[in-house]
Amino acid sequence: MSEFAEVLEALRRVRGINPFFALDVGRPDESWLPGTALLDGPALKTTIDAIANRYKADEPRVAASLFFLSYTARLLSPLTAANIPIDVRPENLWWRHDPANGLSVRIDQPRLGPPAAEALAPVVEAIQAVAPVARGLLWGNAMSNIAGALKMVVRARMLTEEEAEERGERLMSAPPFEQAGEFLSFPGELGFRRRSCCLYYRVAAGGKCGDCPLVK
């Protein structure tokens, strides 16, 4: 099987788990921005400001966290389920943010690339350049999405709970996910508790997530 076909088949196989696992492919219309616009120019800050306005978040770091939480959910959910290194570097992405419908992301070419952490690192740096948000918090958001994706994969019976936990633990054995959290044992379910907080509780009408370390 060619690389092109391998990636398309992997994305097709997982897209039905739920909408977060549906990663589209191909050049979209002119309403989308290239992924490199996340790294240079005003688009990233404009988007973070729009998120702050939508959620009535007074602190820029909160809106920055919510942006990366949404961005990584749309990329890491299908990648985690597919379990192959699909190229999600900014130069192979398209994205747009709609104030009402939120963030959308798609890839340009169905090809393999570096590990997801390497692909995400430039976006982490770009976010930190426009908002005072901790690096560990951002990588904690990414790991939280990986853990959430593994939970959905178990529910879809594509992995056993033990296999999913092993995959997650392997990811957390090295930076940048090292010590991002811990997996918890529940009968028939994969649980996770992160060590950092995404700050969603600091927005108007916000609350604490199920894997939040602040939940007692």
- Per-residue model confidence as pLDDT tens digits over 1-15: 799 999 999 999 999
Kindly report the average pLDDT of the chain as a whole number: 94
- Per-residue model confidence as pLDDT tens digits over 76-102: 999 999 999 999 999 999 999 998 889
Residue 216: per-residue pLDDT: 62
Give 141 or 190, the one with higher predicted confidence: 141
Residue 144: per-residue pLDDT: 96
Q: Are 21 and 29 in contact (CB under 8 A)?
A: no
pLDDT at 206 > cutoff 90: no
- Per-residue model confidence as pLDDT tens digits over 119-165: 999 999 999 999 999 999 999 999 999 999 999 999 999 999 999 99
